[in-house]
Structure formats: structure tokens, C-alpha cells
Amino acid sequence: MKKRVKRIRGTRTCGGGSAKKRRGKGSKGGSGRAGAFGHHFVVSLKQGIRKGKNKSDSTHERAEDNVTINVGELDYLMPGLIAQGKAEEKAEGIYLDVTPLGIQKVLGKGKVTKKMMLKTNKISRLAQDKIESAGGTVEQTSGV
């Protein structure tokens, strides 16, 4: 059960100082969306009027465009990708192009147990080292 607030009950102004201080519309800080980027910033975030400081526009990459995957996840998903025809098993190893899968960057978390030839837009240094230490190769294309 929620505890009742009894501290200010029974006082005339309920902790607001003089009764004149909370009187008009000026005490609420403006009307409508006034102050959404200033003194009412947090309120506008909660109401969904403002999305935060890094608003996405046409010149910046959006967060949903930067899809990443770890090399450990790729290693785990490899048999399923081969079965679906999205990866090819060759004599030199497993060939996989991750750009048609919608993955923009490969990160280095996890273990690599399979020899893979990976083609990607971006890759972290740790991921590249892990793939090459397992005997694989990495081909990096220019990201658009």
C-alpha cells in the first residue's frame, strides 16, 4: 500500500510559499510546447515531443542503419546460414558475405572455431584478428 503524504496536508499553500506565487498562467512556464528545448526539456522527452539531442536527419546515420553482429554469433549461426544458402562451403573454408544480410559491421566478441572467408563493409580489429588466427580471411568493401 502506498504511504500517504501527511507532512504538508492541512497547510494553506501546501509548501508553495505565498498564495500569490502560484496564481496565474505565468507560473506554469508558458503555454503549449513552450520550453520544449529549454526549461521543459525533460517533460518534452517524456511526452515524446523531443527525441533527445542526437535527432536523426538525412545527413546522419540512424541507429537502426548500424546493424552489428559479433564473430561468435556468426560462428554459431554458420550451419544455419549454409543450410539457407546464404553462406557457401568451399575447400578453403566457408565464404560469407554479410552485407546482403543487412549487417553493417562485424564486432569481435566470441570465439571463432570455423575457417571463414568473410566479406563485410566494416570490421573491428579484434574480429579481424580472431578470423585470421583461425585461418580465415577478411575482405573489406567500401561502405556506402
Q: pLDDT for 82-134, tens place per residue?
A: 888 888 888 888 898 888 888 888 998 999 888 889 899 889 999 999 999 98
- 6 has a pLDDT exceeding 80: no
Q: Give the predicted TM-score (pTM) of the model.
A: 0.53
Confidence category of residue 80, pLDDT binned at 50, 70, 90: confident
* 75/103 Cα distance (integer angstroms): 15
* 38/55 Cα distance (integer angstroms): 16
- 57 has a pLDDT exceeding 80: no
How large is the average pLDDT for residues 50-65? 52
- 40 has a pLDDT exceeding 70: yes
Q: Which of 42-51, 62-71, 123-132 has the highest mean pLDDT?
A: 123-132
Q: Largest Cα–Cα distance in the chain?
A: 85
- 17 has a pLDDT exceeding 80: yes
DSSP codes, 94-142: EEEE-GGGT--EEE--S---S-EEEEESEE-HHHHHHHHHTT-EEEEPP
Confidence category of residue 53, pLDDT binned at 50, 70, 90: low
What is the reported pLDDT for 130? 92
How large is the average pLDDT for residues 45-69? 62
- What CATH number matches the domain at 64-140, 3.40.190.10, 3.100.10.10, 3.50.50.60, 3.40.50.150? 3.100.10.10
What is the reported pLDDT for 33? 83
Residue type, 58: S
What is the reported pLDDT for 59? 46
Q: Return the SS3 of 110.
A: coil
